[in-house]
Structure 1
Amino acid sequence: MAAYHLAQRVLFQHCDPAGIVFYPRYFEMINATVEQWFADELQFSFAKMHLTEKVGVPTAAIETHFKAPSFLEDRLDFNLQVEKIGTKSVNLQLRVSCAEQLRLEAKITLVFVCLQGAVPKSIVWRSDLREKFAAFQFD
């Protein structure tokens, strides 16, 4: 069972005036983690996905539990694993920590969609992506 790790430093742009991460900014950092995972490990960047292949992976559901606050200049470790691989969706688990302290847990459902046409339509995952997802799946 492998996990994808991405370190992100909390910047001023992520914080409220007190220097605490403003919760909507976590969702931007979560999306950045997913985007980097697709580029780094799945070799399927969002640029290739959207501009060349005309497909996408919108978030269909996200459940988030905030465990402890994060502060300006904290170095956060985003740990991503695959929970379940569906026909047209994938469930991810994300844990965010700082110096071994859990800050956030999230469960995310991404759906593979075709972006051609008036409305995005869910489609079956490509077999190469399904195989790459499996390398990050936990039991």
Structure 2
Amino acid sequence: MTKTFTLKRQVEFNHCDMAGIVFYPRYFEMISSSIERFFADAMEFSWGEMRQTDGGMGTPMGSIDVRFRAPSRLGEWLEFTVFIKRLGTSSATFDLACASNDETRFTGSATVVYANTSTGKSAPWPNSLRSKMSTYLMSPTP
């Protein structure tokens, strides 16, 4: 059984444009925040702790692909769902979904790379982290 990580957050004024809907670049900040919370809450390995590992590790974003489906408005509660679609040697691709009251707001994917933030060079996921991450790995469809 694959685990799912979810994060709920309310749309705030600073997320919105003049029309009172989420300005699309703010979703990218929310995606980053969801992945940061995934590591801190589900993996018990925050980005702050990563920075103290092996000369300063992190998970810079390699790619983001998003399909917007409906607008989100000031005051609404959004639920972000995160699965791991692919777990590579030094990268992970997350499947993402955002909904409010069972209405999909966006779907997408984001790939992060485990890398030394000083040198920019990727490194293999630590075995203990890889083991925890694998419990969020989506089962292949038969």
TM-score (norm 1): 0.95
User: Unaligned 5+ residue runs, structure 1?
Assistant: none
Query: Which one of the candidate residues 68, 73, 80 is aligned to 2:75?
Result: 73
- What secondary structure sits across from 2:62 in the alignment? strand
The CA deviation at 1:110 is 0.6
2:130 aligned partner: 130
The CA deviation at 1:48 is 1.1
- What secondary structure sits across from 1:122 in the alignment? coil
- What secondary structure sits across from 2:67 in the alignment? strand
The CA deviation at 1:129 is 1.1
Distance 1:38 1:98 in 2: 23
Query: Which one of the candidate residues 84, 87, 96 is aligned to 1:85?
Result: 87
- 1:104 maps to a residue whose letter is F
Distance 1:138 1:112 in 2: 20
Cα deviation code 1:55-76 (max 9, x no counterpart)? 0100101111001100001100
- What secondary structure sits across from 1:40 in the alignment? helix
Aligned residues: 136
The CA deviation at 1:115 is 2.3
Correspondences of 1:23-42 after superposition (within 5 Å):
23-42=24-43
The CA deviation at 1:88 is 0.9
- What secondary structure sits across from 2:70 in the alignment? coil
Q: CA RMSD in A?
A: 0.8
Where do 4+ consecutive residues of structure 1 move more than 4 Å?
none
- 2:18 maps to a residue whose letter is P
- 1:96 maps to a residue whose letter is C
2:66 aligned partner: 64
1:14 aligned partner: 15
The CA deviation at 1:49 is 1.1
User: Unaligned 5+ residue runs, structure 2?
Assistant: none
Distance 1:105 1:135 in 2: 21
1:120 aligned partner: 120
The CA deviation at 1:137 is 1.1
- 1:129 maps to a residue whose letter is L
- 1:81 maps to a residue whose letter is F
Distance 1:57 1:138 in 2: 20
Cα deviation code 1:62-110 (max 9, x no counterpart)? 1110011000011000000000110111110010000000001111111
TM-score (norm 2): 0.93
